Amino acid sequence: MKNRIINLVISALAVPIIILIIFSCHSKPAADRSITQTPRSSQNSSLTFVAVGDNLFHDSLIRSALMADGTYDFIPIYTEVKSIVQGADLAFINQETIMGGTRFGYTGYPAFNTPQSLAPALADTGFEIINLANNHAMDKGRDALYATLDYLDTFEQFVVIGARKEGESARIVTRNNMTLGFLAYTFSLNGIPLPRENPNLVSMIDRNKMTQEMNALRPLCDFLIVSIHWGGEYLLEPDRDQVSLANFIAQHNVDLIVGHHPHVLQRVDTIARPDGKTTLCYYSLGNFASHQRQRERIIGGMMVVTFTKTRSGELAISDYGMIPVITHYDRSFRNTKVIPLYSYTEELLANHGLRTQDPGLNMNFFYGVLNRINAKVIMHNPFTR
């Protein structure tokens, strides 16, 4: 499943493009890192892409992973979705909280810092594209974000988007005879300024700069994907700014918009592009792992998209949908798991921690949410036969 990953650094202020090539052979020995699969251009190709929303670690969620020996084990949170993530050819997560290490203290809301042992759990689950362009990226300042970037860089399989220690960066991933370009932006850093010596540390929403970067990356990839942290928290429908920005992005012939930040599910749209194709826009994937305690905030979605490339070079998104997931935690706010709705039971719901304050919460509510999503709802693991 894992071929090579190309890290492409694009300067929006200069014409030259510097390409840094990093080979990722996640399941192969280090000696094989320079070996790449020979493209088979005579055949049609497909690539399945999974993306999830806000991985948001509150104090209680951190405490729930604390082991007797003082370490943290986050792996059990993701066991129920691991086969989905690993079944896809490529998987994305919006990592909402930094992992700066013990120096900055482990904290939840409002200034987050999650134990670094979360990163191996994400790697074990199968995530590769790690987005850091969100409003909590600077919660503990420049040094904590630098420490997060340095630590994530030790994982060969990770491609970090939206934040970097130097330069202007986009990323290109090559897989299954296709190239996917990634850009990422956030609307806010919660009032914390970027450092004067590194004003490009986190990619901010700026239409002029976005135009430069999208136009530079578009001819270099088969499919262009923009991750965007936007919108009003807890709004069930995209606001005017989201709709306006989505249309702006579509005007640059972007194939897919991965939206997050509202912490609730919002609808999926297709938007006409100048080249005659459409931009597929998931306005908000909702929460993934979190301990938010309102009914709309415990149901999120796993985007499932299939990219195809014919032997003649024609490109398309041939299929898309969403797997609804429930963030489950018990009444002591422990035993947190992200569970697909198709596996979630009445018995689990009866023991959900939210039932103590919302006794009327029932399965019908979850199914009702799906009626406003405007996308195919997938109620099985699409990667198992």
Return the HEC string of the chain.
CCCCEEEEEECCCCCCEEEEEECCCCCCCHHHCCCCCCCCCCCCEEEEEEEEEEECCCHHHHHHCECCCCCECCHHHHCCCHHHHHHCCEEEEEECCCCCCHHHCCECCCCCECCCCHHHHHHHHCCCEEECCCCCCCCCCHHHHHHHHHHHCCCCCCEEECECCCCCCCEEEEECCEEEEEEEEECCCCCCCCCCCCCCCECECCHHHHHHHHHHHHHHCCEEEEEEECCCCCCCCCCHHHHHHHHHHHCCCCCEEEEECCCCECCEEEEECCCCCEEEEECCECECCCCCCCHHHCEEEEEEEEEEECCCCCEEEEEEEEEEEEEECCCCCCCCEEEEHHHCCHHHHHCCHHHHCCCCCCHHHHHHHHCCCCCCECCCCCCCC
Angle between helices 207-217 and 240-250 (to 10 degrees): 30
**Could you give the angle at the alpha carbon of 106 between the alpha carbons of 120 and 288, nearest 5°?**
55
CATH superfamily of 5-30+40-370: Metallo-dependent phosphatases (3.60.21.10)
CA distance 320 to 268: 10
Burial pattern 180-193, b for ≥16 Cβ within 10 A else e, equals bbbbbbbbbbeebe
CA distances from 209 to 12, 183, 212, 217, 335 (A): 7, 11, 5, 12, 43
Residue that the structure tokens 């994530």 belong to: 152
The predicted structure's pLDDT at residue 385: 74
Domain boundaries, the chain: 5-30+40-370
Calculated CA dihedral for residues 9, 12, 130, 23, nearest 10 degrees:
-10
CA distance 385 to 376: 19
Among 240, 272, 317, which Cα is nearest to 48's?
317
The predicted structure's pLDDT at residue 165: 94
The predicted structure's pLDDT at residue 24: 33
CB 336, CB 329: distance < 8 Å: yes
CA distances from 204 to 158, 228, 232 (A): 21, 9, 16
The encoded tokens of residue 231 equal 């919108």
The predicted structure's pLDDT at residue 169: 73
Beta carbons within 8 Å of 122's beta carbon, 6+ residues apart: 55, 78, 93, 95, 130, 158
**pLDDT tens for each residue of 259-308:** 999 999 999 999 999 999 999 999 999 999 999 999 999 999 999 999 99
The predicted structure's pLDDT at residue 168: 67
Which residue ranges in the chain fall short of pLDDT 50? 1-40
The predicted structure's pLDDT at residue 321: 98
